Amino acid sequence: MPTTNTSGRRKTAVARIYLSEGNGAITVNGKDYKEYFPTLPLQYIVTQSTEVSGSTGKFDVVVNVAGGGVKGQAEAVRLAIAKAIVELDAEKKPALRAKGLMTRDDRMVERKKPGRRKARRKFQFSKR
């Protein structure tokens, strides 16, 4: 089986993955995923696509991820793995879609406007 490569994005995080047959090792930026994502919720997010599709321990995943925070990066990796699994076996797509793993979450941080403190927050008004 040749290597399948896909990408996933969330907020400003971009994950590029290379999925190949193996024993379930996930490497993120040269480290094991449990070292890169130290908390259990983030580790669950990363492995969620393989668990839902029933392919835990079948594929080795090499990930390059950049930008954003750890939560956004974990969700970008999850989307990329889901897309790669569907590319190999299209029959797993309905199960992944039912859990919401095939949809790219397009919510982004709203930009700051001029004359405002933040995107919508106005400066404090003081009547002297």
Architecture (CATH level 2) of domain 4-99 = 2-Layer Sandwich (3.30)
pLDDT of residue 20: 95
Integer Cα distance of 19 and 67 in angstroms: 21
- The better pLDDT of the pair 128, 55 is held by 55
**34-93 residue pLDDT tens:** 999 999 999 999 999 999 999 999 999 999 999 999 999 999 999 999 999 999 999 999
DSSP sequence for the chain: ---EEEEEEETTEEEEEEEEESSS-EEETTEEHHHHS-SHHHHHHHHHHHHHHT-TTTEEEEEEEESS-HHHHHHHHHHHHHHHHHHH-GGGHHHHHHTT-SS-----PPPPPTTSSSSSPPPPP---
pLDDT of residue 2: 85
**78-109 residue pLDDT tens:** 999 999 999 999 999 999 999 999 999 999 99
Integer Cα distance of 104 and 82 in angstroms: 11
Query: pTM of the entire structure?
Result: 0.92
Instruction: List all residues 6 or more positions away from 123 whose beta carbon is below 8 Å from its beta carbon.
Output: 116, 117
Integer Cα distance of 49 and 67 in angstroms: 21
> In the chain, what are the domain boundaries?
4-99
Residue 1 has pLDDT above 80, yes or no: no
